[in-house]
Chains A and B, each alone.
Chain A
Amino acid sequence: MTLTELARLGFADLGGTAAVLSGVPDAVVPLFSFAADPDQALRHLLALREKDARRVDRSLVDEDAARRLIEVLGASEGLAAFLVRHPEELAVLAEPLAEPPTVVHYRAALVAAVEGVGGEDARNALRVAYRRELTRLAAWDLDQPEPIEVVPRVAAALADLAAAALDAALVVARAGARFPAEEVAATRLAIIGMGKSGARELNYVSDVDVIFVGGGDGIPDARAIEIGTRLAIDTMHAIHELAVEPPLWEVDANLRPEGKDGALVRSLESHLAYYDRWAKSWEFQALLKARAMAGDLELGERFVAGVAPKVWAASSREGFVESVQRMRERVMQHIPRDEVDVQLKLGPGGLRDVEFTIQLLQLVHGQADPDIRQRATLDALGALADRGYIGRTEAAEFGRDYRFLRLVEHRLQLSRLRRTHLMPRGESDQRALARGTRLATTADGLIAAWREVQQEVRSLHERLFYRPLLSAVASLPEDGYALTSEQAEARLAAIGFQDPRGALHHIAALTGGVSRRAAIQRTLLPVMLQWFAEGADPDYGLLAFRRLSDDLGEAYWFLRMLRDSSGAAQRLTHVLASSRFVGGLFERFPEATAWLENDAELRPRPLAELLEETDATIARHAADVDAAAKALRTARRREVLRLSLAAIVGLIRVEELGTALSDVTTAILTGALRLAHRWGDEVEFGIVAMGRYGGAELGFGSDADIMYVYRPAGCEPEVAQKRAEQIVHEIKRLTEDLRLPLDLDLGLRPEGKNGAIVRSLDSYRAYYERWSLTWEAQALLRARGVVGDAALLADFASMADEVRYPPAITADAIREVKRIKARVEAERLPQGADPARHLKLGRGSLSDVEWLVQLLQLEHAHAVPELRTPSTLHALDAAVAAGLVAEPDADRLRAAWLIASRARSAMTLWTAKTADVLPADRRALEGVARLMEYPPHSATRLDEDYLRTTRIARQVFERLFYGARL
């Protein structure tokens, strides 16, 4: 035989093969083409021949029998080793199997093998008998032209064979029991199959999950449980304790009530009482698969009948939604990094995804519909399609995907008779797998097919769970089935919608009709619903999306974006389910949705660009002041929306946000002043930013602190004051916006609320000269001219510099600043507010940090020019650089300032209202925490983090500001 011919048969090591091929009869050689791994088959055949040449040669006489032998040896090292241990068992391959045997046959065969045998011999006999049947079944499976078609039958036969093994093991246990024989006989013991054995879809090698139910037949239950427990232990040992013939598989009884800590055997009544009272949701999920498998079947059936109603009431239980979410999280996690790409079971698009989705659908709908309560995955899939919960096409596709994955898993496990779910990485192993499954002829072919299946399964959850939701409210002719609205509501509630009926209305509105939009949304909504459900407020998210969609109508770009850019669509659901503030702004500006597609659009626009737009706006509306102002307000809303989107999707940090929001404010004020202050009114006019605006630290919902200044330029002082006041009123009128209020706060001006709303530069100078130690003078530290006549603003700045950066400051003056701060702490906090939770005036929060920085500036800014900045954080950095504050102290202050600033902005985004107190309401706290990029369920963590950070900052503040304790 030439090497080419050997290669054609599928051998890989051609030279080596040619050298040893003389050891097998010529007629047998072509049969190697049927082996998954011909080299392996040949190797084992030669080894077998060495052990027992006579028997091997006899079994090679018949061509069919020889083919079966070669197929088994080529696919399974484990079975090959078994045959080498027991060459007499080669006879089992002499006759073909027409069909997998029944459980009755298996039980008879295995029980017969152990009857009359005692001790360890019984264990060996049981295992040999099991493997004999396994070999015969594997040969049948491997000899199929289309093994994928018979996966369910093989899996069922494996479960039956396992059941028979348990029965035989129980016979062994009873025979060896050290109790009076009549008491042993009177002890009833049922073995309930759980998981895959319960569902009759077992793997070649997997743990067999069971629960033991005991009872007395003429002896007291307590005694029966005692004896039953011993029998159960011995039964398990017969299967998996060490003996000459290796163990079969693990018998796992940990799904029993109370798990590892619970009694191994309980009576039926005790089980039922447990499930009535204490069982957790996942335990009901497990019971979905319970089946009387072995032992006392009558008792087992009563157990199954007893728990069934409880299983199906599970979805109405308290905590069902959380347990579903956690179940899903579990599906996603716990895969070791290096295994993700080779996991058949747990990886994305793996077996677990299929099983999760189908079980979830069963739990949600099975309560009302007994017809979908199948145990086996494929049966359940079929029933769900029959009863119209999912589409037939999907059911067929996913059925095939599931069989594909299971077949690969079967062949993998058969190979070494080991429990594994990892696709081998080696090319030769993959090739053997491809040939053994007959799914492909090469390694690459198999992997490509597998990736396709994974891809499809990954979309499964959406297609089976979410998509049918639409059928409840819109006719989807292509599917030919429809959920009732009760069914759809049950599904929505299960994933966390608080008002499923309302949600269903929105879905109806979004998908109804024949418009292009409805058609596209029918395709998109299923996956978007899934994303909404992952957000903090799914109900609001969906409502906001509906409004948006109504506003945008048939806009081509909107539909295209949703359809073509899944990243943008996911972002959209995320921001809508996170923020009422954004939801409200979108109503005015739905076009902004488009930015989500493009990070560049979400970047804050530089001030120069904003001012250019302001110029253009005013030029465009030269004739109509009100129209121009309206355009300016619209521009402001648009930019604030841009910044909120950027903040929510995590594109900008809170420091950048402060600058950007300040720039937006400056842009509208620039425009408003331009409109109010026309050429030739004989005054110079300017707007000075104060407070957080001055420091370029605005957050969402912050007021804009400002002062107005003017200087007569040609007219009489009284006239100038009048004109300036007119300008102020006009600015206020032009910037008034009910949708997104711009609160121009003049409270930091001289004399506060009692002072004049605008002063001339000279008046300011006179005031500050007289009152240089007041809070008004201190407020000047954050003054920054932003809009108006440049010369005036420059003069204002040099006037301010003299006040705020004094060459020397007396001890009295410093004491006065400290005293005012202490008084403010006591007085300004609103009645009843918890000082620890007030973001602005509370313990260690914004105002503490700001006052400390300002005190340092008053004392040292004259000597240290770097301190001359309105920005709190910049000044803090400068203070560190100048050695005025130790780095660790500055870190603590900065951390507190940042967490308080972020929390304030997040609170505004969450509720669309501005508030200064960290919420105590758990739901609000959760929403705020998510906006601050905490993982889900972090309400308590945010709370503790905030309190800790500010407490520590307060310690630093007290030490540095008030000085050492007396």
Chain B
Amino acid sequence: MDKQRDFVLRTIEERGVKFVRLWFTDVVGTLKSVALAPAEVEGAFTEGVGIDGSAIEGLTRAFEADVLAHPDPTTFQILPWRGEVDPTARMFCDITTPDGQPAVADPRNVLKRALAAAADRGFTFYTHPEIEFYLLKSSRLKNGRPVPVDSAGYFDNVPGGTAHDFRRRSVRMLEDLGISVEFSHHEAGPGQNEIDLRYADALTTADNIMTFRTVIKEVAIEQGVYATFMPKPFSEHPGSGMHTHVSLFEGDSNAFFDAGGEYQLSQIGRQFVAGLLTHAPEITAVTNQFVNSYKRLWGGDEAPSYVTWGHNNRSALVRVPLYKPGKGQSARVEYRGIDSAANPYLAFSLMLAAGLKGIEEGYELPPEADSDVFNMSSAERRALGYQALPSSLDRALLIMEESELVAETLGEQVFNYVLLNKRREWAGYRAQVTPFELEANLEAL
């Protein structure tokens, strides 16, 4: 740590950094930023920076007074889109109360607590997200609908132009920020892209996701287009999910791997998956936190509407991929419920907690779902015991509200706030009279 701090202060001097942005995330998952002059950075390391807690969503209730932001020097990066004029850097922060205790409402602290709980049991948690998003011509709507940058299916079929530049520029910037990525264009939706972030421990990944969203938005602005992580911007095209591969390590070895297990999945791996499945409905209000999220979950297109797992089943909630022989270290499972607009800190905390619960209680993994659950009759699904994920934010909140697992993992303050805030969103949504209703009803009735 201390070496890191030295490095930060030295780099600020050497590179002539003009501003340092302190980043932290509110409960909803919005990135917040405070700018510091270089001279203030050293003080920020030793004493933290006072910020007005009431200005941050979800941080207000218990701490009407100020809170302190402590920059984490290991997250220092120069922001590449600022160029060489007035170079600007950023660090992620941990939030504490004035008497030095970690702020319970800081999402980063929620994840740190969850990771510490896993560490107590000897586990480290790694994640690897595949983030989908849409590129639009602008954020303005045309005929009440967003307009994608290209109407063709394949990125590569659109030579040169925006798409090409966008891709090159984003990869470059992300790599400048130390985030190596793999880019792909979906065949599924026009303008839809997917970027895979490299495997890393969950805290780093969550930080990277926050950075990634900012980079993509910045590059889009630069290129005169608009990027959105909205879960389902087009009813007729697939939504933007954030399929996340997860694994647990015990020391240096992958705890999910067992050469002799079915799909080489170990007992621990099976119990983890069972935990994810059992608690999936409870954590959905966090992994899919917007009204719009449920349009993706229930919009078909292989979205995981039902709580199932499978190996080759593209609509299962949890997929257990096969890996090449000898690659036991890359054993992992893929959670396909979460979407690109989730708060990664909270979502990862809950996925981890659910999986650990499965291990702790020795949950039994139900049989694999090998056929398309979506096309079964509801009687068939009932017979096979396939539960559905909540069909709306409202349902998800009702289920989450009863969940001790979620309350315990998020802590009382965050738990409370998420419920409050999301109920407000649901109420606002429900108050609408939608074009659908007008079209279907106005003339007919």
Q: Name A residues whose Cβ lies closer than 8 Å to a Cβ of B.
A: 257-258, 262, 273-274, 277-278, 318, 322, 834, 836-837, 920-923, 926, 937, 939-940, 943-944, 947-948, 951-952, 955, 965
B2:A274 contact, CB within 8 angstroms = yes
User: Nearest chain-A residue to B419 (Cβ)?
Assistant: A951
Q: Is B52 an interface residue (CB 8 A)?
A: no
Contacts of B46 in A (CB 8 A): 318
Nearest 7 CB-CB pairings of A with B: A947-B412, A278-B2, A922-B99, A940-B101, A920-B62, A944-B412, A948-B412
Query: Is B42 part of the contact surface with A, judged by Cβ < 8 Å?
Result: yes
CA distance A937 to B99 in the complex (A): 9
What residue in chain A is nearest B53 (Cβ atoms)? Answer: A920
Cα–Cα distance between A948 and B64 once the two chains are bound (Å): 20
* Cβ-defined contact, A922 with B97, below 8 A: yes
12 further A-B contacts with Cβ under 8 Å, apart from A940-B101, A944-B411, are A262-B3, A274-B6, A277-B9, A277-B45, A278-B1, A278-B2, A318-B46, A322-B100, A939-B97, A943-B62, A947-B413, A952-B404
The docked-state distance in angstroms from the alpha carbon of A318 to that of B68 is 15
Q: How far is the CB of B430 from chain A (nearest CB, A)?
A: 16
Pick the contact of B65: A318, A920, A947 (CB < 8 A): A920
The B397-415 residues at the A interface (CB cut-off 8 A) are 398, 401-402, 404, 407-408, 411-413, 415
- Interface centre among A257, A262, A318, A834, by most B CB within 10 Å? A834
B62–A278 contact, CB under 8 A? no
Contact with B5, one of A278, A834, A937 (Cβ below 8 angstroms) = A278
Query: Does residue B222 face the partner (Cβ distance < 8 Å to A)?
Result: no
Asked if B429 is at the interface of the complex by the 8 Å CB criterion, the answer is no
Q: Chain B nearest CB: distance from A261 CB in Å?
A: 9
Q: Which residues on the B side are within 8 Å of A262 (C-beta)?
A: 2-3
Partner of A277, one of B2, B62, B64, B412: B2
Bound Cα distance from A944 to B413, whole angstroms: 8
Residue contact A257 to B2, C-beta cutoff 8 Å:
yes
Q: Which residues of A contact B100 (CB under 8 A)?
A: 322
With the chains together, A278 CA to B7 CA distance in Å? 12
| Cα–Cα, bound, A454→B416 (Å) | 53
Which residues of B lie under 8 Å from residue A952 when comparing CB positions? Answer: 404
* B window 63-86: CB within 8 A of A: 63-65
A943 to B62, CA, bound (A): 9
A277-B99 in contact given A836-B416, A920-B65, A944-B104 (Cβ < 8 Å): no
**Docked-complex contact B2 and A258, CB < 8 angstroms:** yes
A268 to B: closest C-beta gap in Å: 16
- Is B310's beta carbon under 8 Å from chain A? no
Give the distance in Å from the alpha carbon of A188 to the alpha carbon of B374 in the complex.
74
Which B residues form the contact surface with A (CB < 8 A)?
Answer: 1-3, 5-6, 9, 42, 45-47, 61-65, 97-102, 104, 398, 401-402, 404, 407-408, 411-413, 415-416
Q: Which residue of A lies closest to B398 (CB)?
A: A965
Q: Tell me the bound Cα distance from A951 to B1 in angstroms.
A: 39
Measured in the bound complex, the distance between the Cα atoms of B65 and A939 in whole Å is 15
Determine if A277 and B65 form an interchain contact, defined as CB atoms under 8 angstroms apart.
no
Majority SS of interface residues in chain B?
helix
Check A922–B416 contact: CB distance below 8 A: no
Whether B64 lies near A920 (C-beta < 8 A) is: yes
* CB of A962 to closest CB in B, whole Å: 14
The reply to whether B65 and A921 form a contact with Cβ atoms under 8 Å apart is: yes
Which of A322, A944, A952 has the most chain B CB atoms closer than 10 A to its own CB? A944
Q: B367 → chain A, closest Cβ, in Å? A: 32
- Contact check, A951 vs B407: say whether CB atoms are below 8 A apart: yes
Q: Decide: B61 and A836 in contact? CB cutoff 8 A.
A: yes
Taking CB atoms, residues of chain B closer than 8 Å to A943 are 62, 104, 412-413
Q: Using CB atoms, name the residue of chain B closest to A941.
A: B101
A947-B413, A948-B412 known; A318+B104 contact, CB < 8 A: no
Q: Judge whether A277 and B101 touch: CB under 8 Å.
A: no
Sampled A-B contacts (19; CB under 8 Å):
A258-B3, A262-B2, A262-B3, A277-B2, A277-B5, A278-B1, A322-B100, A836-B416, A837-B61, A837-B62, A922-B65, A922-B101, A926-B99, A939-B97, A939-B101, A940-B101, A943-B62, A944-B104, A944-B413
A273 and B412: CB pair below 8 A?
no
A957 CB to nearest chain B CB (Å): 13
CA distance A157 to B372 in the complex (A): 82
Cα separation A257 to B398 with both chains bound (whole Å): 52
CB of A679 to closest CB in B, whole Å: 57
Q: Which of B47, B104, B401, B404 makes the CB contact (< 8 A) with A940?
A: B104
**Closest residue on chain A to residue B47 by CB atoms:** A318
Bound CA span A952–B407, Å: 10
CB contacts (< 8 Å) of B401 on chain A: these are 955
Which residue of A has the minimal Cβ distance to B42?
A: A277
CA distance A727 to B229 in the complex (A): 74
Asked if A277 and B61 make an inter-chain contact with CB atoms under 8 angstroms apart, the answer reads: no
Q: Chain B's nearest CB lies how many Å from the CB of A279?
A: 8
Q: Would A273 and B97 count as touching, CB distance under 8 A?
A: no
- Residues in A whose Cβ lies below 8 Å from that of B3: 258, 262
Assembled-state Cα–Cα distance A500/B105 (Å): 35
Q: B102, B398, B416 — which one has the most chain A CB atoms within 10 A of its CB?
A: B416
Residues of A contacting B62 in the complex (Cβ-Cβ under 8 angstroms): 837, 920, 943
Asked if residues A951 and B65 are in contact (CB atoms below 8 Å), the reply is no
User: Which partner residue on chain B sits nearest A918 by CB separation?
Assistant: B62
| Residues of chain B lying within 8 A (CB to CB) of residue A278 | 1-2, 5-6
Q: Least Cβ distance of B370 to chain A in Å?
A: 36
A921 and B412 CA atoms in complex are apart in Å by 17
Residues of chain A with a CB closer than 8 A to B416's CB: 836, 947, 951
Tell me which residues across on chain A come within 8 A of B102, comparing CB atoms: 940
Chain A nearest Cβ from B233, distance in angstroms? 33
* A833 to B81 CA separation, bound complex (whole angstroms): 44
Nearest A residue (CB) for B3: A258
Bound complex: CA A262 to CA B6 (Å): 13
A948 to B408, CA, bound (A): 8
Quick check: B6 and A273 within 8 Å, CB to CB?
yes
Which residues of the other chain, A, contact B63 by a CB distance below 8 angstroms? 920
Distance in Å: Cβ of B134 to nearest Cβ of chain A: 37
CB distance from B142 to the nearest CB of A (A): 42
Say which residue of A318, A834, A836, A937 sits within 8 Å of B101 (CB atoms): A937
> A948 and B398: CB pair below 8 A?
no
Q: Decide if B411 touches A277 in the complex (CB within 8 Å).
A: no
B64 (CB) vs chain A CBs: closest residue? A920
How far, in angstroms, from A453 to B5 measured CA to CA in the complex? 47
| Closest chain B residue, CB of each to CB of A943 | B62
Whether A951 contacts B47 by the Cβ 8 Å rule is no
Tell me the complex Cα distance, A937–B61, Å. Answer: 20
A273 vs B98: C-alpha distance in the bound complex, in angstroms? Answer: 28
* Residue ID in chain B nearest A278 by CB atoms: B2
Residues of B within 8 A of A836 (CB): 61, 412, 416
Q: Which residues of B contact A947 (CB under 8 A)?
A: 412-413, 416
A919 (CB) vs chain B CBs: closest residue: B62
Chain B: CB-nearest residue to A954: B401
Closest chain A residue, CB of each to CB of B413: A947
A948 to B47 alpha-carbon distance, docked (Å) = 31
CB nearest to B404 among chain A residues = A952
A257 vs B47: C-alpha distance when bound (angstroms): 20
Report chain B residues within 8 Å CB of A923.
99
Query: Whose C-beta in chain A lies nearest to the C-beta of B416?
Result: A836
